[in-house]
Amino acid sequence: MGIKGKQVKMKPYGRSTKEEAAWYWCFKNNLLIQPRQVEAYESLWYIDIHKGPVGRRKVIGTSPDCYTSTEIWKKVSEYQMYYYNKYKDEK
C-alpha cells in the first residue's frame, strides 16, 4: 500500500551536445547533480549536488531556489555546465 495522490511529472528537456559532454564529465568525476522534490505532490524541485562514488556520496550543496517542472532539467544542465567549465582542465 502506498500513499495515493496526484502524480507530478517533470517536462522533458533536450540537452545540447555541450550539455551532454558536461553531463558525461560530471558522471566520470563522481559528481551527481539531481532534482529533489520540495515535498510530495508539489510541482517544485530543488537541485542537490552530490560528490563521491556510489554508496559513499555526500551532499555538497543544494540550490537556493526551487524550480518548476518546465525549468528543472534546464537548470540541472546549467549546474552541470558550470562544474564542467570550472573544473574540466584540473587534474
Per-block mean pLDDT, blocks of 10 residues, the chain (91 long)? 70 94 97 95 95 95 96 97 92 61
What pLDDT does residue 10 have? Answer: 87
What pLDDT does residue 89 have? Answer: 87
Q: What is the DSSP letter of 86?
A: H
Q: Which residue in the block uniquely carries the three cell numbers 539531481?
A: 34
Whether 67 contacts 44, CB under 8 Å: yes
| Integer Cα distance of 65 and 73 in angstroms | 14
What pLDDT does residue 19 have? Answer: 97
Q: What is the DSSP letter of 12?
A: P
Considering the domain boundaries, does residue 78 fall inside one?
yes
Considering the domain boundaries, does residue 87 fall inside one?
yes
What pLDDT does residue 6 have? Answer: 75
Task: Indicate the number of domains in the chain.
Answer: 1
| 12 burial type by CB count under 10 A (0-12 exposed, 13-18 middle, 19+ buried) | exposed
Considering the domain boundaries, does residue 80 fall inside one?
yes
Considering the domain boundaries, does residue 25 fall inside one?
no
